[in-house]
Amino acid sequence: MSKKVKKEKSMIIQKEMIASLFKELSTAKETGKKVVYTFVPGNISELIRAFDMLPVYPEINALQSGMRKKSRDFIRDAEKIGHSEDVCTYVKCDVGMMINGNIGPTGEKIPDPDLLLLSYTGCFTFMKWFETLERLYPGVPVALLHTPYQEAQKITPEMTEYMVKQLKEEVIPKMEKVSGKKYDEEKLKKILVNTNKVEEYMVKIFETTKNKPSPIDAYFAGVYYIGPINIGFRGTEEAVHYYEELYKEILERVEKGLGPITPEGEMKEEKFRLVVEGPPNWTHFREFWKIFYDMGAVIVASSYTKVGGVYDNGFRVNPEKPLESLAKYCMNCYTNLNLEQRVDLLSDCITNYDADGFLVNSIKSCNSFSAGQLMIMQQLERKLEIPVGFVESDLVDPRYFSYSNIKNRLESFFQMLEQRKLILGN
Amino acid sequence: MESLKDIIKRCEEISFDLNFTRAKEWKSQDDSRVIVGHMPIYFPREIIHAVGGLCVGILGGGDKKQIIKGDAYYQSYICHMPRSIIEMVLDGHFEGFDGFIFPSICDVIRNLSGMFLLVGKGKFIKYLDYPQNFKSHIGGEFYQKELQHVLNQVYKLNNVELTQERLNNSIQLFNKNRELIKKIYDIRQQTPWRLTAADVYHIVRAGYMIPVEEHNLILENVVQHIQEDIGDNLDKIRVLVIGAFCEQPPIGLIKTIEMAGCYIVEDDFLLGSRWIQKDIENANSEDGLLNTLSEAYLNHSTFSSSIYDVDNPKEARLLKLMKERKVDGIIFAAPSFCDPALLDHPILQKACDDNNVRYISFLFSENTGQFKVIKEQVGTFSDSIKLWE
Ligand code: SF4
Ligand code: SF4
């Protein structure tokens, strides 16, 4: 493993994009830009941008607090004011951050919301989260966009119609009021042209893991790749530029036969190819990742990178049908798929990316992912006869990350994969 | 008339019959009959009743079902109820059920619907997406389509069509059912010693297991009995228990609270049976048969952790309810790991703090067997309120 890590151009672009967004946010009150709090799954930031407003994602704040080792104290502070130990730690981390001044990752204060856009896709906790925020920011209007679940493995015309009506009669009027601007459908269409391009790139980028070695890690590095599209750059020129550059770099790696870049440089030997289900742990992200790359394990696909949108099955926004597209996009996010669809999607990933095994990282406080995961695992094991592994951690609560426990379990899992390889003779 | 003691005994048996004997027996009497199981919290049972079906509540195994296989399906940090339901699936308790309804109340119930699909349980599985938009032409329309979807599934099984007459008959029966349950709660509010909270629980829960016609007879009898001056008034405080709308508290817990110096005069244990707070109007085909049910849901639902309360804050509704029921304090009792209930508690408790309402809180699981700590906590709570007065 080479220890020298050279920053790729795409990394620099991403860093600049994030810095500029937070800068813009920190000066929003002076510049008069309105701020909308919303969520990653069902993230209709194109609409927010169409009104020249800026999005803020409480989940992203929480995960960044986790990475910056601040979440422990934030969670403790939220528990002190009555939040239960048993609930989603993203919510508690966000509440804790807020009562501690809402300082963002760049050290600047994140402005208070002018609108709470509760577009809650695939998780009920989002709804509870905003009920909490609504009380922390009294008087801030709430626009609720209810995304129906794909319970019958499909999006029906009624579901789309219901969402479009909500967009037209609930969300857009509130955005008009808050922003003081009229809804401009042509502007939204133009933004969606970029989204469409970005979605194409996303698919191409994550498909490069079909190569051997895989040029990228679709989980640990994947979470960085989905960063721009998830934190408010959907439909922006910057995003198109970023993904274009990223894709170019990855293709170069493919041409050179290079493996993924890790925090300690390039991974030299690809021993195991895995598909991972569930979000990562943020408080010990590097340590967690290291266990994998030290063992030569690369993640060739992960469900988590689909949390802000699933494009594998051909869905792309259609700029000519802007509101319908936003509705369908929301309904297509990973946790809005029913369990059968999730099993099928993961099964396709395992087959298409020629994975050796399937691993679940079960998150203690995330029912949206965790409930049913054991059954998904059983189904895949039965259907594909591949080794399955299971580890547990939490998103941002460091109390639930047991390094030795996770390492032991992963080592046994890798041994199992090794043995299977020997038996299969490859 | 059957004695109150006998009625209660019968309800105890019916309400915890995990084999759903009465429902299955009812179904066996006619080939066109169907059984539809529904999870908490609320489902408009009227529509199933109107098309020759019996809607049965699936409320988990409580402390009556030993978990042997269920733990292999759920991590330890997920509430208990879905694992007992899966255990019941695997042990064949739902044989003879035709369909299952999963109301959209949380991610666990939502994903449980997927698990039923994966194990191929029932002739239909419906995850019922309750609208969070409360406008008739948006959320109302969507809700009616959701209900129509259920009706279509039942129609495929028994060819019974929904008619205005049948639906109105069902609406009347369930209006009566809600009215009688409300009467029991109202009488208990004045004279809680006439019937224990555990008795009320069994009586109401029996209604989740048998035809509404039979349940109404039971309720009528109970009302008659408790209109008499029976029982002894003990020196207890009056409490409202909230948080147990889905996974049900063990009977031992309800009894413990009352033994430790409280009368439970309001609760959300079997909230679905009291969800609609007003009589539902008769349906008419001009507005669409499902219109009045939909309007009742949109406009007359109780407050709940499963509904976003954007224009109707739940803390205000809790305080109002508390005043109406004249309670001395609130007990927050939620199932462990229940996000919807537990995320509401800081909001509700803050309102209690701001309004000098006394409360305690604890967690339970449907199979909790030890109540010593809870008994002490409730006892201290009750004593402190009595001392205060
Ligand atoms: S439960 Fe999971 S999906 Fe929902 S807010 Fe929490 S972390 Fe996100
Ligand atoms: S107890 Fe709570 S978390 Fe569990 S299924 Fe019921 S509502 Fe969901």
pLDDT, one tens digit per residue, over A25-73 is 999 999 999 999 999 999 999 999 999 999 999 999 999 999 999 999 9
pLDDT for A124-172, tens place per residue?
A: 999 999 999 999 999 999 999 999 999 999 999 999 999 999 999 999 9
A301 by DSSP, 3-state: which? strand
CA distances from B363 to A77, B202, B243, B386 (A): 21, 21, 9, 24
In chain B, the domains with their CATH numbers are 23-165 (3.40.50.11890), 234-268+304-388 (3.40.50.11900)
- State both tokens at B246: 């889905």
> How distant is the Cα of A151 from the closest Cα of chain B, in angstroms?
6
Q: Is the CB of B246 under 6 A from ligand 2?
A: yes
- Residues of A within 8 A of B145 (CB-CB) are 158
Q: From the candidates B80, B86, B90, B107, which should be mutated to test the interface with A, based on the most A CB atoms within 10 A?
A: B107
Compute the radius of gyration of chain B from its Cα atoms. Answer: 20
- Residues of A within 8 A of B114 (CB-CB) are 338-340, 342, 372, 375
The reply to whether residue A128 touches residue B340, judged by beta carbons under 8 angstroms, is yes
- Residues of A within 8 A of B129 (CB-CB) are 146, 148-149, 151
Q: Label residue A1 by pLDDT band (50, 70, 90).
A: low
Q: What is the pLDDT of residue A424?
A: 84
Contact A6, A288 (CB under 8 A): no
Nearest by CB to A135, which of B108, B129, B347?
Answer: B347
Residues 241-260 of A with CB under 8 A from B: none
Q: Determine the residue of A75, A128, A230, A369 to mutate for testing ligand 1's pocket, defined as the one with the most ligand atoms within 8 A of the Cβ atom.
A: A369
Contact B179, B279 (CB under 8 A): yes
The reply to whether residue B343 touches residue A129, judged by beta carbons under 8 angstroms, is yes
Compare all CA atoms of chain A with the CA of B129 and give the residue at the minimum distance. A148
Region of residue A26 (left: phi > 0; alpha: psi -120 to 50; beta: else): alpha
Alpha carbon of B315 to ligand 2 centroid (Å): 20
Q: Label residue A5 by pLDDT band (50, 70, 90).
A: low
- The domains of chain A are located at 9-183
Alpha carbon of B78 to ligand 2 centroid (Å): 8
Minimum-distance ligand to the CA of B82? 2
- State both tokens at A308: 């802000």
ipTM of the complex: 0.95
Sheet of A54-56: strand order equals A54-56, A35-37, A115-120, A142-146
Q: What is the pLDDT along chain B (389 residues), one digit of tens a residue?
A: 899 999 999 999 999 999 999 999 999 999 999 999 999 999 999 999 999 999 999 999 999 999 999 999 999 999 999 999 999 999 999 999 999 999 999 999 999 999 999 998 899 999 999 999 999 999 999 999 999 999 999 999 999 999 999 999 999 999 999 999 999 999 999 999 999 999 999 999 999 999 999 999 999 999 999 999 999 999 999 999 999 999 999 999 999 999 999 999 999 999 999 999 999 999 998 889 999 999 999 999 999 999 998 778 999 999 999 999 999 999 999 999 999 999 999 999 999 999 999 999 999 999 999 999 999 999 999 999 998 76
- Polymer length in residues for chain B: 389
Tally of helices (H runs) and strands (E runs) in chain A: 19, 10
Mean pLDDT of chain A: 95
Q: Is A372 on the interface with B (CB under 8 A)?
A: yes
CA distances from A177 to A117, A135, A323, B133, B213 (A): 13, 21, 19, 19, 52
CA distances from A164 to A116, A122, A324, B307, B315 (A): 19, 18, 6, 21, 31
Q: Is the CB of B324 under 6 A from ligand 2?
A: no
Q: Is A91 on the interface with B (CB under 8 A)?
A: yes
Q: What is the pLDDT of residue A334?
A: 96
Atom of ligand 2 nearest to the CA of B335: 1
Mean pLDDT of A199-207: 97
Buried b / exposed e over B71-100, threshold 16 CB at 10 Å, is eebbbebbbbbbbbbbbbbebebbeebbbb
Residue type, B291: N
Q: Label residue A426 by pLDDT band (50, 70, 90).
A: low
Alpha carbon of B213 to ligand 1 centroid (Å): 43
Nearest by CB to A339, which of B111, B126, B306?
Answer: B111
Compute the radius of gyration of chain A from its Cα atoms. Answer: 21
Nearest by CB to A146, which of B78, B110, B133?
Answer: B133
Closest to B379 measured CA to CA, from B366, B360, B352, B365:
B360
Q: What is the pLDDT of residue A175?
A: 98
Alpha carbon of B388 to ligand 1 centroid (Å): 42
Nearest by CB to B343, which of A87, A370, A392?
Answer: A87
Closest to A206 measured CA to CA, from A260, A157, A152, A140:
A260
- Residues of B within 8 A of A373 (CB-CB) are 75
Minimum-distance ligand to the CA of A363? 1
* Strands of A64-191, DSSP E: 115-120, 142-146
- State both tokens at B355: 């309004």
In sequence order, what are the residues at sequence separation of 6 or more whose Cβ sits closer than 8 angstroms to the Cβ of residue A234? A43, A45, A46, A49, A191, A195, A198
Alpha carbon of A122 to ligand 1 centroid (Å): 9
pLDDT at A4 over 60: no
The CATH topology of domain A9-183 is Rossmann fold (3.40.50)
Nearest by CB to A340, which of B114, B145, B334?
Answer: B114
pLDDT at A174 over 80: yes
Q: What is the pLDDT of residue B389?
A: 67
- Residues of A within 8 A of B127 (CB-CB) are 149, 151, 338
> How distant is the Cα of A421 from the closest Cα of chain B, in angstroms?
27
